[in-house]
Structure 1
Amino acid sequence: MLASPRILLAFSIALLLFSCKQSKEVSSAAVAETLEYLSFQKTGCKGTCPVYKVEVWKDGTARYEGEQYVDRVGLYDGRFSQENLMELMNSLSTAGFWEMDTLYDDPMIMDVPAATLLVKTSGKSHKVKARFGEPETVRNLMSAVEAWSKKGRWAEVTD
């Protein structure tokens, strides 16, 4: 009997997030020095695709803007611990983020949402946009970053 795609995806994400022992560990100080900025954005479709953007800076401060089909609609300020940032940097390294192509797309395919991940460090910057035809490793990384972004402590911004 074959495992369902959902079970395989959940297992892949768990493996990605918890397999850091085989990768080079990143110290808290190294994360604070290297991670300058992260942006993760999901775009919409003609259906009920979630539309939102998460931005995170090196000190752990964050901003979330939910537009539609998300639990939080509106603007939120948040915070991530250094441990959360270390977890993210390890996940990026393990997944081979810095070697991934910058665009996975087929312009002939319409109405497909995109996930875009931009990471800037003190020494480099890399952006990956996954809209269509991305390999499983890219899909798994985007899902892992999406799950990771929910670990932030969020408070709605009120005027």
Structure 2
Amino acid sequence: MHTLLYLFKLGLGLGLILVAGCSTAQNREVKTLGVPLLHFQKTPCLGICPSYEATIMENGSIRYIGYSDVPVMDTVSFVLSNQQLEELRQEVSQLNYTSLQDTYLTNWSDMPSTITTFYKAGKEAKRVKQEEGGPKHLLDFQEKVHTLLMGLADAEAKRRLPIK
């Protein structure tokens, strides 16, 4: 009985050490990535819908994770050009995102969502979940961000093609 109790305590202690280690590693990763500007996510559907997420940082670096129906289904990093970053910042400032509703939902069950999280000074300022509808300026913004990210992912996919 004492052996089982010892093994349980040992396992619990190791588990806590592992969790603490993971937390430290995550904190280091966040610090090296920079300050978030925008998090953009497309959720899957039962059909063919692009599913991915990307965190765009204030310095123009991007952490992209492709899940399905996208050119790159992997975790990769991109870097925006200075012009791309400035254009994105202007789009964000013109959007007036704080006036947007938190959700634009549909009654259909198979609709993908576009979830856009805006940050101010590195802290979440507004999160908008859009399935259907919403103001035109939001839809236009989402399309621009999606097109930008898919362009970067497409270039990465082409770069990964084997040389013949």
Question: Which residue matches 2:112?
Answer: 113
Counterpart-to-counterpart distance in 1, 2:94 and 2:64: 25
Contact 1:37 1:119 in 2 (8 A): yes
Deviation at 1:133, TM superposition (A): 2.7
Q: Aligned partners of 2:124 and 2:117: how far apart in 1?
A: 11
Name the counterpart of 2:87: 87
Q: Which stretch of structure 1 is more off in the superposition, 122-131 or 144-153?
A: 144-153
Change (3 A) 1:155 1:77: farther
The 2-side partners of 1:155 and 1:61 are apart by 15
Asked if the contact 2:72/2:156 (under 8 Å) is kept, the reply is no
Distance 1:152 1:104 in 2: 27
Counterpart of 1:65, as a letter, is I
TM-score, normalised to structure 2, is 0.64
Quick check: 1:64–1:78 contact (8 Å CA) kept in 2?
yes
What are the ranges of 5 or more consecutive residues in structure 2 without an aligned counterpart? 1-34, 158-164
Q: Which residue of 1 aligns with 2:101?
A: 101
Higher helix share: 2
**1:56 counterpart residue number:** 56
Moved over 3 A (4+): 150-156
Q: Secondary structure at the match of 1:137?
A: helix
- Whether contact under 8 Å (1:50, 1:68) holds in the other structure is yes
Q: Deviations over 1:16-36 (max 9, x none)?
A: xxxxxxxxxxxxxxxxxxx73
- Residues 117, 124 of structure 2: 8 Å contact kept: no
Q: Which residue of 2 aligns with 1:32?
A: none
Q: Residue 77 of structure 1 aligns with which residue?
A: 77
Q: Larger Cα Rg: Structure 1 or Structure 2?
A: 2
- What does 1:37-56 align with in structure 2 at a 5 Å threshold? 37-56=37-56
Alignment coverage as a number of residue pairs = 121
Q: Contact (CA 8 Å) 1:80, 1:151: kept in 2 or not?
A: no
Find the aligned partners of 2:124 and 2:108 in 1 and give their Cα distance. Answer: 31
- CA spacing shift, 1:124–1:76, aligned 2, 3 Å: closer
Deviation of 1:73 after TM superposition, in Å, equals 1.1
Unaligned stretches of 5+ in structure 1?
A: 1-34
1:145 aligned onto 2:145: yes
TM-fit CA distance, 1:92: 1.9
Look up the SS of the partner of 1:111 in the other structure: coil
Which is bigger in relative contact order (C-alpha 8 A, separation at least 6)? 1
Deviation at 1:155, TM superposition (A): 5.7
Can you list the C-alpha shifts for 1:89-116, whole angstroms capped at 9, x where unaligned? Answer: 111222332321111113x321001111
